[in-house]
Structure 1
Amino acid sequence: MNDLHRKCPGSVLRVCLLVFGLIGSWWTAITLPIFFSASPARDFIGRIMADERFKQSVLIEMLAHIEGTSRSLVAEPSISRAKALIRLELARKTMGRPDAIDDGDRQAVDAERDMKFSLAENPNDAFLWMSLYSVALVRNGFDPVNIKYLAESYRIGPCEGWLALRRNRLTLGVFPFLDDSLRRVAISEFAQIVDADFSTEAASILKGVGWAHREELLPTLAQANLVSRENLYRRLAADGLKLKIPDVSYDERPWR
């Protein structure tokens, strides 16, 4: 009897290990295909965030692949994020076409829904908050209520250079409607863009949505790197614009 008692624990242990092994194998079989299929989604996200342009057919094919993945048993956060960003790109491509207005509007509605779903999973996504503002702007035009999405993007990612290049244009486009704190953040972000020596992008912003606010933007460039300020001055001068930038020699001669 004592021998039997001594043997039973070992038998139970072996059974338990076998059960756990089977469960582990089952879980691996379920999850590994999803994680592998999520890799293209993450790659696609990176390329969209880098502002790479895709053919509509490629976007549709990738969306179909991701939607097939999302029906699997286990969800992966990058999948819902990729769906939202791909739908936004599709909406941008179709809404400007007279023959695809309805399709573009449908894609924009779906993009907004997927963004909100993704943000419910991961609210600390500064890029997606900015994109949510963008799609709301595309769908309904400017609405001051939606500035809260931009504000949330700045709260989560205030100093992200890769994001600033796209976000700063959006923010300066509604500059008169911002509160004082958000204005200061937008102005500081422009200075950071200059400081990082994105002179071509900064000049484009300044000549576009930032032109009406140049008197507020330019003085804050005193905090930016001097070489970067000089590069911005030369970039603007090459386009025929000579603006007074802090501590940069100003040439009043119109022929240079």
Structure 2
Amino acid sequence: MSSIGRQGDGLIRACAMLCGAGAIAWSIFTFPTFSRERALEADVQRVLTGEQYSPAQLSVLRDKLSESRDRQLRPSVRSNLAVIRLRLVEEDMAAGRSKLDAAVGELANSIDAMLSDNPTNAFLWLTKFWLPIQQSDNAAADFSLLRTSYLMGPNEVWIALRRNPLALSLFAQMPDDLASRSIVEFAGLVRSGLYSDAASILAGPGLPIGQRLLDGLARVDEVSRYRFARVLEANDVQGLTIPGVKEFGVKE
């Protein structure tokens, strides 16, 4: 083999070694970040499924958030952190804990920062709409934020489960377009087979307009209407009728 050939082989081996060393270094550097991301994403899924947390588990969640450096995470993961922060603020509000203003302020700042990265995230817009209302009974609802949430995520069920009861609790104040959208969204929950969730919404914030919500089910398939009627019957919801169903479960 010529000296030129040997030099070429040596150069190839050196490049391969450098690439290999670079890959190892990259793995060592990024593995902790990927590991944190997986752990945070798992926490987000548990929150979204409604898992109940003990005080000790909530403390662990707080520690994870305080240790995480948001800017090192992918934008999609940073957006998901709002789900955890919202859950912690909700828990603090329910428990009447002190220093709530700091947690709310941190959540508000986090939402604004993440919306600058991901302005199409419907959940973030919904949270931005929700937060001032929870802080003060006298706060005027900024319905443009709710409208943006509907625009960015009209059919995301996990968002609708949070958005619909909130919207219905403000139904009398909402502009006509959003009032109509909330009725359509409720029908979407029934169409998706979320009968228990829809029944809870109907019996809760939706009760003042309960018949309007049920009238909105006219275009939902017959099987879904019948099954939803059975759930309402089991929950002892009375005095309302579903289109095409008489006395909750008996076809007209």
Q: Same fold (TM over 0.5)?
A: yes
Q: Verify the 8 A CA contact 2:211 2:241 in the aligned structure 1.
A: no
* Cα displacement string for residues 20-49 of structure 1 (whole angstroms, at most 9, x for unaligned residues): 333222111111221122211111001111
Aligned residue pairs, count: 245
Q: Kindly report which structure 2 residues correspond to 1:12-51, keeping only aligned pairs within 5 A, or say none.
A: 12-51=11-50
Give the drift of 1:110.
1.0
Aligned partner of 1:243: which letter? L
Q: Does structure 1 residue 92 correspond to structure 2 residue 69?
A: no
User: Could you say what secondary structure the match of 1:222 adopts?
Assistant: coil
Q: Which of these residues, 157, 161, 167, is aligned with residue 161 of structure 1?
A: 157
Q: Which residue among 210, 217, 221 is the counterpart of 1:221?
A: 217
Find the aligned partners of 1:53 and 1:70 in 2 and give their Cα distance.
26
Q: Residue 124 of structure 1 aligns to a residue in which SS?
A: coil
Say if 1:240 and 1:214 are closer, same or farther in 2 by CA, change over 3 A.
closer
Letter in 2 for 1:233: A
Structure-1 residue corresponding to 2:189 = 193
RMSD, matched Cα: 2.7
Which residue is equivalent to 2:206? Answer: 210
Secondary structure at 1:191 match in 2: helix
Match of 2:245 among 227, 244, 248: 248
Structure 2 CA distance for aligned equivalents of residues 137 and 125 of structure 1: 20
| Aligned-partner residue type, residue 24 of structure 1 | A
Helix, strand or coil at the partner of 1:223: coil
**Runs (5+) with no aligned partner, structure 1:** 252-256
Structure 1 residues 75, 165: closer, same or farther in 2, change over 3 A?
A: closer
1:76 to 68, 74, 81: 74
Instruction: Give the distance between the partners of 1:105 and 1:165, measured in 2 at CA.
Output: 26
Residues 125 and 156, structure 1, Cα contact 8 Å, conserved in 2: yes
- Cα distance change of structure 1 residues 75 and 160 upon mapping to structure 2, 3 Å threshold: closer
Structure-1 separation of matches of 2:219 and 2:240: 17
User: More deviation in 188-197 or 228-237?
Assistant: 228-237
Match of 1:128 in 2: 124
> What is the alpha-carbon distance in structure 1 between the residues aligned to residue 148 and residue 85 of structure 2?
21
Q: Which 5+ residue runs of structure 2 have no aligned equivalent?
A: none
Alignment check: 8 A CA contact 2:41 2:80 kept: yes
Q: Is the partner of 1:132 in helix, strand or coil? A: helix
Moved more, 20-29 or 227-236: 227-236
Q: 1:148-176: per-residue Cα shift (whole Å, max 9, x none)?
A: 33222222221122332221101111223
In structure 2, the CA distance between the partners of 1:53 and 1:148, relative to structure 1 (3 Å rule), is farther
Bigger shift: 77-86 or 150-159?
A: 77-86
The answer to whether the Cα contact below 8 Å between 1:34 and 1:76 also exists between their aligned partners in 2 is: no
1:119 aligns with 2:115: yes
Letter in 2 for 1:231: R
**Which amino acid in 2 is paired with 1:18?**
M
**Amino acid across the alignment from 2:88:** L
* Offset of residue 4 of structure 1: 5.8
TM-score with structure 2 length normalisation?
0.82
